Chains A and B, each alone.
Chain A
Amino acid sequence: MTEFYGYERPDGSVGVRNHLLVLAPIDCSYEPARRIAEQVDGAVAITQHHGCGLHWMVAHNLIGVASNPNVAAVLIFGLGCETLNADVIEEGLKPTGKPVERVIIQEEGGTLRAVEKGVRLLRGMAEEASEQRREAFPLSKLTLAVECGGSDATSGMAANPAVGVAADLLVDEGGTVIISEPQEMIGAEEHLARRAVSREVAEAIREMVARQVRRLEAMEVESRYMSRGNIEGGLTTIEEKSLGAVRKGGRRPIQGVLENSWNGLGRPRGGGLWLQDGTGWDIASVTHMVAAGAQVVAFTTGRGSTVGHAVAPVIKITGNPDTYRRMEDNIDINAGIIIEGGESIREVGERIFRFIVQVASGRRTKAELLGYRDFAVFKRDRAAERLLGFP
C-alpha cells in the first residue's frame, strides 16, 4: 500500500500542509488581515467579496476552507459590525478541534492595536504548529480535487485521460477524488448517471446538470452549442467535449453528488469518486473542492493556466508539449509527451499519481514556489435560483 506523510489533526483528518489561516469574514478587515499574515511565516490571509450579510453559501465555504486539514490553526480577524461574523465562523470550526483565535478591530480600538494583537496570537500559533511532525498515513486519508482551465485540443486527448488514470489509482488505494464544474458535464450526464452507485445518485447527477442547463437557458446561453475554436480544434459534439472534460475524474463508480448551496456544503462520506455542484470559475471551483476537504489539486491546462490556491498545493499538468516548453516555470508535469509518442496515457498517469503522493508528503508545486495564494468564493444568486424553482 502507498503511504503519504502528513500532519494529523485533532478530528483525525490529515493535512498535507501546515498553514496558518488569517480569515477575514468580510473584506472590510482584509487589508490588516493580509498584513498580519505577511508578518508570520507560513501564514496566509483569505476573505470574500460578497458583502457582510450572512450568505450561507459563502459562510459554509469559508468554514470549509478553514476546516481543511491543510490548515493547522485559524485566526479570525473581523471588523465587528458584520453579520457574517467571527461567531458564525468559530461555531462552524468547533467540530475540527483545531486552535482558533479571534481579534475584532472595533473591540480592540482600531487597526494598530488589532494588528499587534493579531500578530502576537498568530506567532504563538506558528510556534505550536512548527512542533508538529509529518507521519505516514494510508491514501484513504487523502482527497484529490481535479480541475481544468485554459483547455485546448490536447486536454481531452492527453492531460485529462492521464489525470483520470491517476485518479483511478488513488481510488483503488482507498483515496477520494472530487470533480466539479457541472457546466462541463452537459452532454455527459447519462454517462455519469450510468456510473452512479445507486438510482438516487444517478437522479442527483441528472438534476444537478439539468439545473445548470436551466441557468444557462435563463441567461440565454445555448448550452448545446460549442465555440468555433472547439470545432476547429477537432471537437465534433458537446458530448465529446464533456466526456473529455469529465475524463480527468477517472472511470470509477460515482459515490454521490456533494451539495454546495446555502443549505449546506457536502463532504465525501468515504473513498471513491464524488461530483460537486460547483462552478466553472477556476479559482472558486478549486476553493469549493478544498472546502469539501480536498488537500491536493490536480489541474489540467492546455493554454497554460498559472493559478494556485491559498491552502492547497495545485499541480499543473499540460497535454500540450509547446505550452510545457514555453511555461515550464508554471507547469509541473508534461503530459504532452503522450502527443509526441514518448509515453502512453497509462505511463504518464502513473507518473502523475506518484507526483500527487510526493506533493502530499511535502514536495512543493510550481504554483506554491511562485507564491500563488489564490482564493475566491462563488455565490449563487438565491433570488434567481428561487425564480427558477430550485430548492
Chain B
Amino acid sequence: MKMEEADNVATLLSEVSQGEVVEIVSEEGYVVDRVEALDAVPFGHKIALVDVERGERIIKYGEAIGVASRGIRRGEWAHTHNVDSLRLPERG
C-alpha cells in the first residue's frame, strides 16, 4: 500500500518472502508498481520503492517520516536498522 504519490516506501498488507514480487497499490486501489522484495518483510512493515541514499528522507503519507541511516535499495526492508527519526537522530 502506497499512501501518497510522493512516497518512496510502501506498507505491506501481508508478509512477503525474499525474492517475491510485491504489487504496490494506491489509495484508489490501482496497481502502481511491482517490486521484487530483496528481504523477507513482516506484515505492516515497509519496503523501499526506489534506491535511497544515506541521508535522504524516507517519505510516507507524503511526509518525511525519517532519514536513511545508510543506503537502501529498491525492494529492501526499510525499518529501524536503516531509518532514523528526524526528531531523534541518535537512537537510544
Residue among B13, B45, B64, B87 making CB contact with A339, cutoff 8 Å: B13
Are A234 and B43 in contact, CB atoms less than 8 angstroms apart? yes
- Which residues of B from 54 to 75 have beta carbons under 8 Å from A? 58, 60-61, 63-66
Residue among B1, B65, B80 making CB contact with A157, cutoff 8 Å: B1
- Which residues of B from 30 to 53 have beta carbons under 8 Å from A? 42-46
Interface residue? A267 (CB, 8 A): no
Minimum CB–CB distance for A163 against chain B, Å:
13
Minimum CB–CB distance for A305 against chain B, Å:
19
Nearest A residue (CB) for B14 = A339
- In the bound assembly, the distance between CA atoms of A32 and B63 in angstroms comes to 53
Interface residue? A161 (CB, 8 A): yes
Interface residue? A231 (CB, 8 A): yes
Interface residue? B78 (CB, 8 A): yes
Residue among B61, B80, B83, B87 making CB contact with A244, cutoff 8 Å: B61
Given contacts A191-B63, A244-B61, contact A238 B88 (CB under 8 A): yes
* Residue from the set B26, B58, B60, B87 with the largest chain A CB neighbour count within 10 Å: B87
Are A157 and B11 in contact, CB atoms less than 8 angstroms apart? yes
Interface flags, B3-37, vs A, CB<8A=1, else 0: 10000000111100000000001111100000000
Q: Which range holds the interface residue count of chain A?
A: 20 to 34
In the bound complex, residues from chain B placing their C-beta under 8 Å from that of A154 are 44
Are B87 and A238 in contact, CB atoms less than 8 angstroms apart? yes
Are A236 and B61 in contact, CB atoms less than 8 angstroms apart? no
- In the bound assembly, the distance between CA atoms of A117 and B25 in angstroms comes to 62
Interface residue? A34 (CB, 8 A): no
In the bound complex, residues from chain A placing their C-beta under 8 Å from that of B58 are 236
Are B25 and A238 in contact, CB atoms less than 8 angstroms apart? no
Minimum CB–CB distance for B22 against chain A, Å:
12
Nearest B residue (CB) for A247 = B61
Residue among B11, B13, B86 making CB contact with A239, cutoff 8 Å: B86
In the bound complex, residues from chain A placing their C-beta under 8 Å from that of B85 are 187, 224, 236-239
Residue among B12, B29, B64, B87 making CB contact with A347, cutoff 8 Å: B29
- In the bound assembly, the distance between CA atoms of A343 and B85 in angstroms comes to 32
Given contacts A236-B78, A239-B86, contact A344 B29 (CB under 8 A): yes
Interface residue? A225 (CB, 8 A): yes
- In the bound assembly, the distance between CA atoms of A247 and B61 in angstroms comes to 8
Are B44 and A234 in contact, CB atoms less than 8 angstroms apart? yes
In the bound complex, residues from chain A placing their C-beta under 8 Å from that of B92 are 225
Minimum CB–CB distance for B6 against chain A, Å:
13
Beyond contacts A187-B85, A238-B87, A240-B66: 18 other A-B pairs, Cβ-Cβ < 8 A, are: A157-B1, A224-B88, A231-B80, A233-B44, A234-B42, A236-B46, A236-B65, A236-B80, A237-B83, A239-B65, A239-B66, A243-B63, A243-B65, A338-B1, A338-B13, A339-B13, A340-B13, A344-B28
Task: Show 9 residue pairs from A and B whose CB-CB distance is below 8 angstroms, ordered by the A residue.
Answer: A154-B44, A236-B58, A236-B65, A236-B83, A236-B85, A237-B86, A243-B65, A244-B61, A344-B28
Residues of B within 8 A of A (CB): 1, 3, 11-14, 25-29, 42-46, 58, 60-61, 63-66, 78-80, 83-88, 92
